[in-house]
Amino acid sequence: MPILPKERDPRLITIRRGGTLTDDDHRLLAEWAIACAEHVLPLFEAAEPDDPRPRDVLEVARGWVRGEVPMREAHHAAFHANAAGRGKPDPVRFAALSAAADHAARAVEKRDLGNGADADAAERARVAERDWQRSRLRAEIRELVLDDQRRRSSICWNAFDG
């Protein structure tokens, strides 16, 4: 299932590609996404301790933020995180995918469901993860991210609702 709306918000497209997203805000978004992915990475690493791909992807992303890695290389690295999650149980898969996209809250929810929690407890875990993520948003990008989450929630398993 795609996690991007059919029409992309120009505020999330870089200026070089015809949008309005500045390089500074792009880097802030990347730093925040790295923190969110790293928060759930232990779910992957506990199940796959010998697979460094998701953590490696986060290191590449940090290199991009610092200006040491070209965007094309950082974008390509995300495919390695996706591959690491392929065929794994949902919490592990979504934790790996979080290194490339918005799957951290979903990973936490699936972890709890897989551990026998009822749907209400899993939902509380998802909301707690979402709130943790939002608490780490920098003021410069907060409204942009929250607005994007409102727009995409229905195609992201309602991960941003609640």
**Burial class of 92 by CB neighbour count within 10 A (0 to 12, 13 to 18, 19+):** buried
Tokens describing residue 119: 């749907």
pLDDT interval class at 5 (50, 70, 90): confident
Evaluate whether 3 touches 101 at the Cβ level (below 8 Å): yes
pLDDT at 97: 92
Q: Is the pLDDT of residue 1 over 60?
A: no
Could you report the per-residue pLDDT of 90-113, keeping only the tens digit for each? Answer: 999 999 999 766 788 889 999 999
Q: In whole angstroms, what is the distance from residue 10 CA to residue 146 CA? A: 15
Q: What is the pLDDT of residues 8-61, one digit of tens each?
A: 899 999 999 999 999 999 999 999 999 999 999 999 999 999 999 999 999 999
Q: What is the pLDDT of residue 160?
A: 84
Per-residue pLDDT, 156: 77
State the Cα–Cα distance between residues 55 and 39, nearest whole angstrom. Answer: 11
- What pLDDT, on the 0 to 100 scale, is given for residue 157? 67
Q: What is the pLDDT of residue 3?
A: 66
Contact between 30 and 136 (Cβ < 8 Å): no
Say what the pLDDT of residue 100 is: 63
Q: How far apart are CA 117 and CA 33, in angstroms?
A: 27
Express each pLDDT in 106-138 by its tens digit: 899 999 999 999 999 999 999 999 999 999 999
